[in-house]
């Protein structure tokens, strides 16, 4: 185990160096939303955008034009056949078709070559119209290059948003020279056709596709494998309008600082004042977090195959040691084999991912299996958990997992299996059948039932609230406390704030009977949470370390206070109502 830690330390240093070089983000404002807001207040869109640029915005999301945009700008005129017949009775047009005429010379005539839709040219009242058998309003026409040039001249990072349409002959052929491409909808252009997807990949050239948090797009993984990705955080307008600007700013800061989001995609509030408050607060928080607002340079995370392979030995040795350390060695080896088999099955026989899961479930249990007789044994357990952190990071962090494309499989097991493994260590050194008979015949009191019920309820709550999207929500008070903590420092995990004190009180032995054992099992949750924290590979390693050590410090202090409080409470309980002389005797 110790020898295998050497490559993990080197890999951790490599990962920290990579993540420190990537602490940049762009504040990207959705241009159509800004334009709509500007017109509501009688302002020019670019003037309002310049106002927001002074408050920190350094990017803009620019959608591909559609034919309807050309009509709005007066470059072409669109009429239905019915309207054209009303204007020019007897014209050779069909009422159900749609007709385009150029205002800018050649604008309407250049469009049919872009699409597979059959068109024809007709004359009506001495004017030439292009006839379309379907409404072409929403057909993509490429970028608005004049607007794009003006925005780039102002120093804005342009995130181009192309539309997909089966009628396009050569999608992606006219993409502008921009650093990022953000696809619309639930799939990238060409996702349903391998040949077209290969063309899109070629046409990306130096452009980086945006990976939208919480919105997996079909086919994007293929593009990311070649071009990398810029993790992007965006909030829907409906959700945004339910949040005040300070709360929303906190979420954008959290996304950049703790989830490695490189593009923070913003939309304005209904009012300019709210939007300015959002930008001011977001810029303040990003500065405090050390995230530089600039055009992000996205580099892929490089994996070191040899060092990762050498790191495989440590978790396997730890699992074997744990199995041999259980009171019943045969049962221990069987539990170890079952854990390994489950890890490999969940990770589809991937040796690195499977061994990362083995580390995540073994090291939180190992220390409390080896020694749990005094309070100082908590430091051994914690030290082994931190060693497990290095193995989890070394084996689980790869090009896909740091982008959030490859989730950590078996997150639920990182809370459950350590509990099971430590619980097995409480078995007596005797035949299992005799242990089962002893348990069956043990007298159970009402207090025992209540204690077990409370323990199961607490564990169920902890298990349900694992991760970011679970079935158990947080209260408004806890949500406010979390926001205040994450705005001022990295928020420790509440499972650790509760689990570490439980372990310390349990190890102190101040409680009678089986209560200490139950508290030690509760402490396993705190140790498991350490490993669980580091299984989110898109979170920078140093951020996870800050969260972990804050939780350890707070848990240690709370645990020592808890030991004193329990001792005091027990003494008061035992001596309450007795005369001082009797107590002295």
- Residue pLDDT, tens place only, 526-571: 888 888 888 888 888 888 888 888 888 988 998 888 888 888 877 7
Based on its alpha-carbon atoms, the radius of gyration of the chain, rounded to whole angstroms, reads 31
pLDDT of 478: 52
**DSSP string computed for 567-582:** HHHHHHHHHTT--HHH
- Residue pLDDT, tens place only, 81-129: 999 999 888 888 899 999 999 999 999 999 999 999 999 999 987 899 9
pLDDT of 469: 45
Other Cβ atoms within 10 Å of 346 Cβ, number: 15
Instruction: Quote the longest CA-to-CA distance of the chain.
Output: 120
Q: What are the beta bridge partners of residue 232?
A: 212, 263
Q: What would the mean pLDDT of 422-428 be, rounded to a whole number? A: 83
Given a cut of 50, whether residue 471 has pLDDT beyond it is no
Buried b (16+ CB within 10 A) or exposed e, 302-314: ebeeebbebbbbb
290: left (phi over 0), alpha (psi -120 to 50) or beta: left
31 pLDDT band (50/70/90 cuts)? Answer: very high
Token look-up 């051994």 returns 380
Alpha carbon 576 to chain centroid, angstroms = 53
- Residue pLDDT, tens place only, 367-378: 989 988 888 999
Query: What is the model's pTM?
Result: 0.81
CB 404 within 8 A of CB 212: no
pLDDT of 504: 87
Cα-Cα-Cα-Cα dihedral of 36, 37, 39, 41, to 10°?
Answer: 160
Other Cβ atoms within 10 Å of 434 Cβ, number: 10
pLDDT of 182: 94
Given a cut of 60, whether residue 585 has pLDDT beyond it is no
pLDDT of 559: 87
Cα-Cα-Cα-Cα dihedral of 273, 275, 280, 286, to 10°?
Answer: 170
The fraction of the chain above a pLDDT of 70, given in percent, is 86
- Residue pLDDT, tens place only, 187-199: 999 888 899 999 9
CB 394 within 8 A of CB 11: yes
Least confident of 251-255, 276-280, 395-399: 395-399
Which element (helix H / strand E) includes 62?
strand 59-63
Nearest to 115 by CA among 136, 99, 89, 97: 136
Q: Alpha-carbon distance 207 to 187, whole Å?
A: 18
* Cβ burial, residue 203 (10 Å; 0-12/13-18/19+): middle
Least confident of 80-94, 277-291, 399-413, 470-484: 470-484
Q: Alpha-carbon distance 332 to 321, whole Å?
A: 9
Other Cβ atoms within 10 Å of 176 Cβ, number: 18
Nearest to 256 by CA among 234, 278, 223: 234
CB 362 within 8 A of CB 317: no
pLDDT of 225: 84
Given a cut of 90, whether residue 259 has pLDDT beyond it is no
């Amino acid at each position: 185990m110790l020898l295998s830690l050497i490559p993990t330390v080197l890999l951790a240093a490599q990962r920290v160096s990579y993540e420190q070089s990537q602490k940049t983000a762009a504040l990207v404002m959705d241009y159509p939303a800004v334009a709509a807001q500007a017109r509501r207040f009688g302002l020019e869109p670019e003037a309002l955008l310049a106002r927001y640029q002074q408050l920190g915005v350094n990017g803009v999301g620019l959608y591909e034009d559609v034919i309807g945009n050309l009509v709005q700008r007066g470059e072409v005129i669109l009429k239905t056949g019915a309207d054209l017949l009303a204007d020019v009775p007897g014209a050779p047009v069909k009422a159900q078709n749609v007709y385009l005429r150029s205002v800018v010379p050649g604008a309407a005539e250049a469009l049919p070559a872009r699409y597979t839709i059959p068109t024809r040219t007709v004359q009506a009242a001495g004017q030439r119209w292009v006839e379309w058998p379907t409404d072409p309003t929403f057909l993509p026409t490429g970028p608005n290059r004049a607007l794009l040039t003006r925005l780039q001249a102002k120093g804005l990072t342009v995130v181009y948003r192309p539309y997909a349409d089966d009628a396009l002959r050569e999608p992606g052929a006219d993409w502008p020279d921009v650093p990022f491409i953000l696809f619309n909808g639930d799939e990238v252009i060409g996702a349903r056709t391998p040949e077209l997807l290969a063309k899109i990949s070629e046409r990306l050239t130096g452009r980086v596709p945006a990976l939208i948090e919480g919105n997996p797009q079909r086919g994007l993984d293929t593009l990311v494998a070649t071009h990398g990705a810029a993790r992007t955080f965006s909030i829907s307008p409906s959700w945004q309008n339910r949040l005040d600007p300070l709360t929303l700013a906190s979420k954008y800061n959290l996304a950049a600082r703790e989830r490695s989001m490189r593009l923070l995609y913003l939309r304005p509030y209904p009012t300019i004042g709210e939007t300015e408050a959002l930008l001011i607060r977001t810029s303040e928080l990003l500065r405090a977090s050390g995230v530089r607002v600039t055009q992000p340079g996205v580099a892929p995370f490089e994996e070191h195959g040899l060092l990762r392979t050498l790191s495989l030995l440590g978790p396997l040795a730890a699992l074997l040691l744990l199995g041999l350390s259980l009171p019943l060695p045969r049962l221990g080896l069987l539990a170890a084999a079952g854990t390994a088999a489950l890890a490999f099955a969940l990770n589809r026989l991937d040796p690195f991912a499977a061994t990362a899961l083995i580390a995540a479930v073994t090291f939180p249990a190992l220390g409390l299996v080896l020694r749990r007789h005094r309070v100082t044994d908590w430091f051994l357990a914690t030290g082994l958990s931190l060693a497990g952190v290095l193995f989890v990071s070394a084996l689980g962090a790869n090009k896909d997992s740091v982008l959030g494309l490859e989730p950590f499989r078996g997150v639920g097991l990182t809370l459950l299996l350590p509990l099971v493994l430590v619980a097995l260590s409480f078995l007596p050194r005797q035949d299992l059948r005799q242990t089962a008979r002893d348990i069956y015949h043990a007298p159970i009191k009402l207090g025992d039932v209540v204690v077990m019920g409370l323990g199961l309820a607490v564990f169920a709550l902890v298990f349900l609230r694992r991760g970011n999207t679970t079935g158990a929500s947080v209260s408004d008070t806890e949500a406010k406390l979390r926001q205040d903590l994450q705005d001022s420092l990295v928020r420790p995990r509440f499972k650790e704030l509760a689990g570490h004190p439980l372990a310390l009180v349990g190890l102190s032995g101040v409680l009678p009977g089986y209560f200490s054992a139950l508290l030690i099992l509760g402490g396993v949750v705190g140790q498991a949470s350490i490993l669980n924290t580091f299984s989110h590979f898109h979170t920078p390693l140093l951020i996870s370390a800050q969260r972990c050590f804050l939780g350890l410090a707070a848990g240690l202090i709370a645990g020592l206070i808890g030991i004193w409080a329990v001792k005091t409470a027990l003494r008061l309980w035992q001596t309450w109502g007795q005369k001082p002389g009797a107590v002295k005797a």
